[in-house]
A and B are shown apart, each in its own frame.
Chain A
């Protein structure tokens, strides 16, 4: 193939440059952490707008104004240890296998920012259903009408020519997920999460709190693993007890939160006290935040409505 040979000579290779790689990596991380492009702060999907409005009233207001002293940390730890006991006593779901597919339904709304067209932000609500089977899975998502985070955002959207914001519906095939291998021993789990979080720009404990939340979402963690996760959260400096709250569909739960002060975000987990299951989570702004919104502005929320086994990918619960 002489023409390919000619190209090969015309484009000689040269030695890689580790310094270039490092500079580019730093540039990417700075971009990821600082640049408010069209960022979705977390995944998940949500509700019709009416439910969203309800959620703002029920959860966000309830979560503001909690202090950060040691006594509150102790109460949070106590509550989380109780949740661990309750979680450990729950019967596990059967493992994923033939005829057994994990189904999780949630509703969510997360902030998305259009940096390239007017620089405005909205919360995009979704209903999200996910199936995780032995050979792969499926994610089905439908979006509702986005809500502007502020009047300023709405004005910028108008100035940008009112671009279409609704995302529509979609489904995505998912790869096979291995069962969670998280240790059930709290010490081992703490060490593992600490190792994963060490050096994170948000701070090790904030990142560990995030990892605890990640482990609960749309996963079939066994009760013993769930209990260990609560035990780990109970040991994290900075976790605060928020108290009794209701989630966006009116269920009562107990909330704990962790503040990410650099960005000015409070991450909250809402736990069902009798079973230790995760009902909901939320991210809201602190008084000083990189988004420049008033304190308590909800920038992301998920509510977990249903977790059970169904018979096939795509099947609805009976």
Chain B
């Protein structure tokens, strides 16, 4: 049964009726799956998204029920699970950028440049910049997702973007319609 209850209320309900958690899945699977799909491709994304929800279910008692929207929490779990697949992700990005550049669909970065630039970031910086750029989370939401202060989000994001800009400076095209 669909309800208009907040995510927090659903999670609270799922403590008594575990199957209520399925509604949380219905609300957020697409967002989580899309984020994972962009990062590691469809096959691994299914595994990551599925594990995100089973992990969330197991840890739902720890959810801060003062937070009505569970999307940052779920994306934080997914980000955590994705960390162990960084090598796969890096290989995929390198191939993707080369492919994209090869077909003329967009201006090209030298193959692997983006992947190498991301590889030089710390894991924490990479998590922040990818949640910001791919999942469209705000600073506050990233703070919730990764359980770090908003100030830390700001500093990591600024650092990550600065390093990416410097690293890719000679290869990335000028911005056009991109935030």
Interface, chain A (partner B; CB < 8 A): 1-14, 16-17, 20-21, 23-25, 27-29, 31-33, 35, 37-40, 42-44, 172-175, 195-196, 200-201, 210, 214, 217
Contact = CB atoms under 8 A, between A and B. Distances in A.
In this complex, the interface size class of chain B, counting residues with CB under 8 Å from chain A, is 35 or more
Given A11-B38, A12-B38, A28-B25, 9 more contacts: A5-B172, A6-B109, A6-B168, A7-B134, A14-B37, A17-B42, A33-B18, A173-B65, A217-B16
B30 A5 contact: no
A128 to B, nearest CB: 12
A5 B173 contact: yes
B97 to A, nearest CB: 5
B38 to A, nearest CB: 4
Residue of A4, A13, A42, A44 ringed by the most chain B CB atoms within 10 A? A4
B168 A20 contact: no
B56 to A, nearest CB: 9
B118 to A, nearest CB: 8
A146 to B, nearest CB: 14
Interface in B39-77: 39, 41-42, 45-46, 49-50, 53-54, 57-58, 61, 64-66, 68
Interface in B120-179: 129-130, 133-134, 161, 164-165, 168-169, 171-176, 178-179
A298 B137 CA distance: 44
A174 B8 CA distance: 9
B130 A7 contact: yes
Contacts of B30: 16, 21
A233 to B, nearest CB: 17
Given A2-B173, A24-B29, A10 B97 contact: yes
B88 interface: no
Interface string B83-125: 0000000000100110010000010010000110000000000
A37 B165 CA distance: 45
A42 B15 contact: yes
A24 B50 contact: yes
Contacts of A173: 65-66
A311 B1 CA distance: 34
Contacts of A2: 165, 168-169, 172-175
Contact of A28 (B21, B46, B175): B21
B59 to A, nearest CB: 9
Contacts of A13: 34, 37-38
B175 A31 contact: no
7 contacts: A9-B100, A10-B96, A14-B38, A25-B26, A33-B19, A38-B58, A201-B19
A4 B33 contact: no
Nearest to B3: A196
Given A5-B175, A28-B25, A29-B22, A172 B168 contact: no
Contact of B53 (A7, A12, A28, A195): A28
